[in-house]
Amino acid sequence: MSLSPIISAFGLGTSNLASLGKRLSSIDTINLFNCALENNVKLIDTANTYGSGDAERLIAKGISGRRNDFSLMTKAGFPFLALPGFLSPINQIGKKIFQKCNVKKNYSKEYLINSLFGSLKRLRTDHVDAFLLHEPIYQELLHHDDCWEALYLIKKSGMAANIGMSTNDNDAFSLGYDNIELDVIQTTMPYFVNNNDSLVFYSCKEKGIPVVANQVLKPAGYLKNNLEFIGLLGKYNQTLNDIVPILIAYSKDFMNSDCVLIGTRNPGHLIQNSTKFKLKDDLTEIFEFIEFHTL
Residue 244 lies in a domain: no
Task: Report the b/e string of 184-194 with b at 16+ CB within 10 A.
Answer: bbbbbbbbeee
CB 252 within 8 A of CB 258: no
Residue 100 domain-assigned? yes
CA separation for the pair 271, 269 (Å, rounded):
5
Looking at the domain assignment, is residue 201 inside a domain?
A: yes
Residues shown for the chain: 295
% of the chain exceeding 90 in pLDDT? 66
Domain interval for residue 198? 10-216+258-265
**What is the helix, strand, coil percentage profile of the chain, to 5?**
50, 15, 35
Within-domain flag for 5: no
d(C-alpha 119, C-alpha 129), whole Å:
12
Q: What is the DSSP letter of 253?
A: I
Among 4-18, 78-92, 181-195, 249-263, the minimum mean pLDDT is found in 78-92
Q: From 28, 19, 27, select the one nearest 53 (Cα to Cα).
A: 19
Instruction: Report which secondary-structure segment, H or E, holds 164.
Output: strand 163-166
CATH number of the domain that 93 lies in? 3.20.20.100
116 pLDDT above the threshold of 90: yes
Domain total in the chain: 1
Contact 213, 259 (CB under 8 A): yes
Q: Are strands 71-76 and 211-214 parallel, antiparallel or unpaired?
A: unpaired
Considering the domain boundaries, does residue 275 fall inside one?
A: no
Domain presence at residue 229 = no
Banded model confidence at residue 172, pLDDT cuts 50, 70, 90: very high
Phi, psi of 140 (to 5 degrees): -65, -40
Do the domain assignments include residue 240?
no
CB 12 within 8 A of CB 270: yes
Whether 187 contacts 211, CB under 8 Å:
yes
Structure confidence by residue, pLDDT tens digits, 35-90: 999 999 999 999 999 988 989 999 999 999 999 999 999 999 998 666 565 555 55
In terms of C-beta density within 10 A (0-12 exposed, 13-18 middle, 19 or more buried), how is residue 9 classed?
Answer: middle
Instruction: Compute the distance between CA of residue 279 and CA of residue 246 in angstroms, rounded to an integer.
Output: 8
Residue 294 lies in a domain: no
203-249 tens-digit pLDDT: 999 999 999 999 999 899 999 999 999 999 999 999 998 898 899 99
The model carries a pTM of 0.89
- The helix (run of H) or strand (run of E) holding residue 274 is helix 267-275
Q: Where are the alpha helices (DSSP H) in 14-146?
A: 26-38, 54-62, 89-100, 109-123, 138-142
Q: In this predicted structure, what is the pLDDT of residue 272?
A: 85
Q: Give the bridge partners for 163, in sequence order.
A: 131
